Amino acid sequence: METVTEAIGWISSFVLVLTIGRQVLKQYKEGKSEGVSKWLFVGQMTASGGFLLYSWLVKNWVFVATNAVMVLNGLAGYMIVRHHRRRAERMGTSETGNLEAERA
């Protein structure tokens, strides 16, 4: 029974990491993060960091691995959002177009 329990945990971990990772990859490939708050990733990293520590303390290796990857995923997402926003600021545009036109 313990093997089945571990398998459920690892499969669920894989699905979670794949799902969130796919979203971050989509932002990267599309070159924009329109509508995505940097605070989403700040919150994700904070929560995943806390769960990582907790999981380490209770010796739950499925959650240690999952949350370690989720912290990295959150960091990647945050950096992509920052990159897109800074690029838009340098160009004097929003992520969807010209700032002046949007203000009018």
Q: For all residues of the chain together, what is the average pLDDT?
A: 87
CA 70 from chain centre, in angstroms, equals 7
Report if pTM > 0.85.
no
69 pLDDT above the threshold of 90: yes
Q: What is the pLDDT of residue 94?
A: 65
Cα distance between residue 31 and residue 80, in whole Å = 9
- The helix (H) or strand (E) run that includes residue 27 is helix 2-30
Cα dist from 99 to 22, 71, 86, 103, 104, whole Å: 29, 33, 14, 6, 9
pLDDT band at 104 (very low <50, low <70, confident <90, very high): very low
Cα dihedral sign, 25-30-33-36: negative
- Is 101 or 55 the better-scoring residue by pLDDT? 55
CATH class of 2-103: mainly alpha
Work out the percent of the chain whose per-residue pLDDT is above 70.
89
